[in-house]
Amino acid sequence: MRKDLLIVAVMAGMVLACNNNTEEKKATGMDTMDHASMNHDATSNMPAVPEVPAGAKVFFANLKDGEMVSSPFKVQMGVEGMSVDTANGIIKPASGHHHILIDGPDSLASGTSVPKDSVHLHFGNAQTETELKLSPGMHTLTLQFADALHRSYGGRLAAKITVNVKK
């Protein structure tokens, strides 16, 4: 009987140890896709990055360049001429999802996979708003649109602003 309980306890411990907190990540609204496996290069059989329709643009819907904000603050992400879709790996014309680059470049080159770290925020679940917590001072925010494989649409679908976070 003791041996059976020990086996059950060990197996339960192994199952719990394998939990990677995916539910916790989903609750924060952040993309949970494993981007390490998305190593895109020119030699792979990847489809081309879809064309950007004429007049398409991204924008910060609720923030203006140079705006003073208190942390945390809401960011509303907008797009015109494209549809917001999940980063499910299925390429669709005129669709994609948002990324926010904190204190980064004006845009990423077209076809470049957006890194995933603390300053490259992914919204691959088709989110159009989030809340950011930033330290006091000046920060740049770049809104970068990308396809279902997290490949940037380049400068044509990027917008950069500066916010001043109050102390």
pLDDT per residue as tens digits for the range 11-69: 444 444 444 443 333 334 555 444 444 444 444 688 899 999 999 999 999 999 999 99
Query: What CATH topology corresponds to 54-165?
Result: Immunoglobulin-like (2.60.40)
Q: Helix, strand, or coil here: 135?
A: coil
- In the chain, the N- to C-terminal Cα span, in Å, equals 62
**Helix intervals (H) in 2-134:** 2-17, 22-27
Handedness of CA 75, 30, 151, 102 (dihedral sign): positive
pTM of the model: 0.75
Structure tokens at 118: 């603390």
- What is the sign of the dihedral through the CA atoms of 33, 35, 37 and 42? positive
